[in-house]
Amino acid sequence: MNKLQELFPNVDFQIMWTATQETLYMTLISLFAVFLLGIVLGLLLFLTNNKKHAGARILYWITAILVNVFRSIPFIILIVLLLPMTKSLVGTVIGPKAALPALIISAAPFYGRMVEIAFREVDKGVIEAAKSMGANMFTIIGKVLIPEALPAIISGITVTAISLVGFTAMAGVIGAGGLGNAAYLEGFQRGQPDVTVLSTIIILIIVFIFQFIGDFLTKRTDKR
């Protein structure tokens, strides 16, 4: 501990620990919601694409437009646009909870597209074989689509998790807390570069951990 204090003399390690917890809170809560929403969006896009039924085509275009719009808006702008909704949902526009709506809405469409691509890569012969044996849509989704696409789904959520860590840092600059807030307010604005450096190192460690876990799970679920 003394060695760390020598390397980072301006760092308050209690504040840094709190900032790390806030970053993990924002990342993990939003990641869980993004995973669920992304699977739903990916399924909608996959199941309604190239269908002859008018209702399916309308649903596809509505979903596709929403996905394309929200994943195209820069995150920092999206936070500002969502301030009224954030205020009504969580009762505040500052702090880790206030960042969650923007984090989820920005990342879910991106991940939804990745899930759709994963489903498209599933061998159509396997799906047709399941249909020929009388499997209904829910059985095909649960027993064929998701298991076959699982490595790509995990790989996609790993990329999304890393993006979310970066988004939390941006959110921290405008009052969401976390390591981004520590790096900017405690480090940059107060002229304490060691605080910024340590915040960056911790963010990198978090990213490497997510990447390691994602790579491990992808290899374990890949049947090829």
Question: Where are the chain's structural domains?
Answer: 15-221
| Contact of 202 with 186, CB cutoff 8 Å | no
Tell me the pLDDT band of 2, cut-offs 50, 70 and 90.
low
Cα distances from 196 to residues 4, 33, 94, 106, 192, in angstroms, run 14, 29, 21, 26, 7
- pLDDT attached to residue 140: 87
pLDDT, tens digit, 9 for 90 and up, residues 124-153 = 888 888 888 888 888 888 888 999 999 999
Distance, CA of 187 to chain centre? 26
Beta-carbon contacts of 155 under 8 Å, excluding residues fewer than 6 positions away, are 214, 218
Percent of the chain clearing pLDDT 70 (strictly above): 99
Q: Please say whether the dihedral angle defined by the alpha carbons of residues 11, 13, 15 and 19, taken in this order, is positive or negative.
A: positive
Token output for 95: 């702090």
* pLDDT value for 133: 85
And the tokens for 91? 């009762």
Please compute the mean of the pLDDT values over residues 43-61 and round it to a whole number.
Answer: 85
| 82, 102 Cβ separation under 8 angstroms | yes
Question: If we measure between CA atoms, which residue out of 193, 170, 151 comes closest to residue 99?
Answer: 170
* Candidate ranges 65-74, 157-166, 181-190; pick with highest mean pLDDT: 157-166
Question: Which CATH superfamily is 15-221 part of?
Answer: MetI-like (1.10.3720.10)
Task: With beta carbons less than 8 A apart as the criterion, state whether 93 and 83 touch.
Answer: yes
Reply yes or no on whether the pLDDT at 91 is more than 90: no
How far, in Å, are 1, 9, 148, 162, 169 from residue 198 at the CA level?
Answer: 14, 11, 41, 18, 13
pTM for this entry? 0.91
Please tell me which of 81-90, 155-164, 177-186 the model is most confident about, judged by mean pLDDT: 155-164
